[in-house]
Amino acid sequence: MERLKALEIFKAVADHGSFTKAADAAHVGVPSVSRAVQDLETLLGVQLFNRTTRKVTLTPVGHTVLEHAAGVLDCYEDLARVSNDIALDVSGDLRLEVPALFGMSRLAPILANFTREHPKVRVDTRLVDHQGETLGDLADLSIVVGRAAPASCVARQLAATRFGMYASPAFLSGAGMPRHPDDVRPEHCMTVIAGSHDATLALTHAVTGERSALRARSAFRTNCPSALISATLDGLGMAVLPESIARLSESRGELVRVLNDWRAPSLDTLLVYRTRRNLPLRVRKLIDCLVASFGDDEAGSLSPLRMPPNVPAVAHIKAHAHGARWAA
């Protein structure tokens, strides 16, 4: 940039025939103009101006350098103009990485609305397991669950990922409805957040503060929430699942939430990207969209109890009185 500035000052001196007038045009002091011209002459190894007490004129080689300098400055202006047009246009490709634990059910409607609002943006969403890098080389943005963002990246908080305990009606008809975590047999307990065959999940009672735990020792193990839901629907056992992923099956009556008064620790959910500076407008727009949408999602998770379809009001009131919790 210093060399580009020197070319701009050199051209200003040539255009105005004066170091003083060039300084005024470039908004710098006369000593800065003189130094820039001297540095450029030293760099090129030629004399650019003939200087007298009354005027400054280009040397023959100065005329040649001016032609090339003008071409360089014009190219830079074209580049700046094109870059500015691109930066201000909400268009182009955008890649977003999403962990399976977060799930697409809560994200897909947001991305669909975003692409409808910005039809020239193409959003490539990839499911990842984040066992390696938190933000892949080709990704513009990454959603991270339960992991810290690299120090070199920017992280924005999204709605926390919360968990619940679920089972199929068929399984509960045989095993019974658990009233306490101790009622859940370890061999019937599955969890997608298990890092080992024998995982223990701490629980806290929402009212009394009592602490307990679920021990997941099922023979079925997976880090894929959809596979765990399938196993739960098939009656293999009870599963600890992200609420957002289990919500659809629960609303259909395919899964039943159990141990409603017990809370598992939620996991921090972050939106990660590399820098705040010079982000394309399409990326900035999606960042704002996701942060705003999941801010609403956070608020929605605290909304009043709502009655599911086809449930009589009396039944709803009784369920509320007994501390039951319907799916939102």
CATH number for the domain spanning 201: value is: 3.40.190.290
Same domain, 157 and 272: yes
Same domain, 209 and 232: yes
Q: Is residue 312 part of a domain?
A: no
Q: Is residue 222 part of a domain?
A: yes
Same domain, 101 and 126: yes
Rg of the chain taking only CA atoms, in angstroms = 32
Same domain, 156 and 17: no
Q: What percent of the chain has pLDDT over 70?
A: 83
Domain end point (choices 88, 117, 133): 88
Residues 50-76 pLDDT 10s = 888 778 899 999 899 988 888 888 887
**Taking the model in full, what pTM does it have?**
0.60
Same domain, 259 and 276: no
In whole angstroms, give the CA distance from residue 223 to residue 145.
13
Same domain, 187 and 220: yes
Q: Which of 40-49, 256-265, 315-324 has the least mean pLDDT? A: 315-324
Residues 268-290 pLDDT 10s = 899 999 877 778 889 999 999 99
Same domain, 197 and 242: yes
Can you tell me the mean pLDDT for 193-216? 82
Q: Is residue 328 part of a domain?
A: no
CATH number of domain containing 153:
3.40.190.10
Q: Is residue 9 part of a domain?
A: yes
Task: Give the pairing type, strands 238-242 and 189-191.
Answer: parallel
Same domain, 168 and 150: no
Domain that holds residue 219: 163-264
Question: Are 13 and 22 spatial neighbours (Cβ–Cβ below 8 Å)?
Answer: yes
Same domain, 36 and 157: no
The per-residue pLDDT for 169 is 95
Q: Is residue 66 part of a domain?
A: yes
In whole angstroms, give the CA distance from residue 215 to residue 213.
6
Domain end point (choices 242, 264, 286): 264
Q: Is residue 80 part of a domain?
A: yes
Instruction: Provide long-range contacts, Cβ within 8 A and 24+ apart, for 111-118.
Output: 114/285, 114/286, 114/289, 118/90, 118/91, 118/282, 118/285
Same domain, 167 and 259: yes
Same domain, 107 and 16: no
- State yes or no: pLDDT of 319 exceeds 80: no
Q: Count the domains in the chain.
A: 3
Q: Is residue 314 part of a domain?
A: no
Same domain, 125 and 70: no
